[in-house]
Each structure stands twice: as structure tokens, then as C-alpha cells.
């Protein structure tokens, strides 16, 4: 099947497929006599694998490692589990960062009068005005 059909079957864009092939994440498929990419069912499985891994937020480096493990029938599941748990740890760290940012923004929004006056602690904080500058995670002005 051609790239457009493969893209639909895998749930991704043809542009993404070309990119993954360009960076050698995926092997380049066979070509027809006319020069079109010719995707087989195995190629579609690999595309779906990559799409799912990316959907779970794995960075390309880890997707490449996971794909190699997927193709290696002698793999150790402990290697796969380690990658997944490392990714969970990275997600948890990011969630903590986001929660800190959320708290800071809520604090600033609460401090803002939201009226017709120009004074605004949100703007002051973004500008780095010393009286109202807050650090992510702190709910008090510094």
C-alpha cells in the first residue's frame, strides 16, 4: 500500500512517516517500480507501535529503544519495564512542575483585582518587578 493508505491504517500523517524514516526510527519500505513506497502489513504494525509509543509520550530516543526491543524476540521484559518506569518518573516530575506553575498562577490571579485599573500583579510578576515577583511553587511575594 502507498504512504497515504499506510498513514490512515496507522493513524498518523504521511509527513510523520517520512520523518520517522528520515531519522532512521523506521526502516525505509520497499519501493514499487514507479518509485512509490510500498508498505506491507509488518510496516503498518511498526507504524502503529511507534504511534502508540508517541501517544504515551515516549521521546523518540526511547521509542527507538522500545522498537528495537519489540523486534528482539530474545529481549528481557525487565529492560522494557525499566524504560516504562523511567518514563513514569519523568511524567511525575513534570506533573509536580506543572502543579507548581498552576499554584503560582492561581496566586497571581487571586491577587489581581481584575478591574479597570492598570495595576496587575500578573504583569508585575512576568516583568520581574521585585515587589511582586514570585517563584514557581511559592505563594508569597518575594
pLDDT score of 129: 74
pLDDT score of 130: 61
Give pTM, 2 decimals: 0.77
Please indicate, yes or no, if residue 87 is contained in any of the structural domains. yes
Please indicate, yes or no, if residue 138 is contained in any of the structural domains. no
Q: Are 9 and 47 found together in one domain?
A: yes
Please indicate, yes or no, if residue 13 is contained in any of the structural domains. yes
Q: Are 82 and 120 found together in one domain?
A: yes
Please indicate, yes or no, if residue 38 is contained in any of the structural domains. yes
Domain residues for the domain of 111 are: 78-127
Please indicate, yes or no, if residue 71 is contained in any of the structural domains. no
Q: Are 82 and 123 found together in one domain?
A: yes
Let me know: does 66 contact 53? Beta carbons within 8 Å: yes
Convert the pLDDT of each residue in 44-101 to its tens digit.
999 999 999 999 999 999 999 999 999 999 999 999 999 999 999 999 999 999 999 9
Residue 30 is part of a domain; what is its CATH number?
1.10.1660.10
Please indicate, yes or no, if residue 30 is contained in any of the structural domains. yes
Count of domains forming the chain: 2
Answer with the residue of higher pLDDT: 141 or 6. Answer: 6
Looking at every residue in the chain, the average pLDDT score rounds to 91
Amino acid at each position: 500500500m502507498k504512504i497515504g493508505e499506510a498513514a490512515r491504517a496507522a493513524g498518523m500523517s504521511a509527513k510523520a512517516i517520512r520523518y520517522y524514516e528520515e531519522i532512521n526510527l523506521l526502516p525505509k519500505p520497499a519501493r514499487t517500480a514507479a518509485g512509490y513506497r510500498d508498505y506491507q502489513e509488518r510496516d503498518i504494525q511498526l507504524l502503529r507501535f511507534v504511534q502508540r509509543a508517541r501517544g504515551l509520550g515516549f521521546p523518540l530516543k526511547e521509542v527507538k529503544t522500545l522498537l528495537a526491543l519489540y523486534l528482539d524476540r530474545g529481549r528481557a521484559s525487565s529492560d522494557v519495564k525499566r524504560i516504562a518506569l523511567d518514563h513514569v518518573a519523568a511524567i511525575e516530575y513534570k506533573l509536580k512542575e506543572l502543579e507548581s506553575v498552576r499554584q503560582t498562577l492561581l496566586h497571581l490571579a487571586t491577587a489581581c483585582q481584575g478591574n479597570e485599573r492598570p495595576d496587575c500583579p500578573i504583569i508585575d510578576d512576568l516583568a520581574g518587578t521585585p515587589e511582586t515577583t514570585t517563584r514557581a511553587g511559592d505563594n508569597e511575594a518575594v
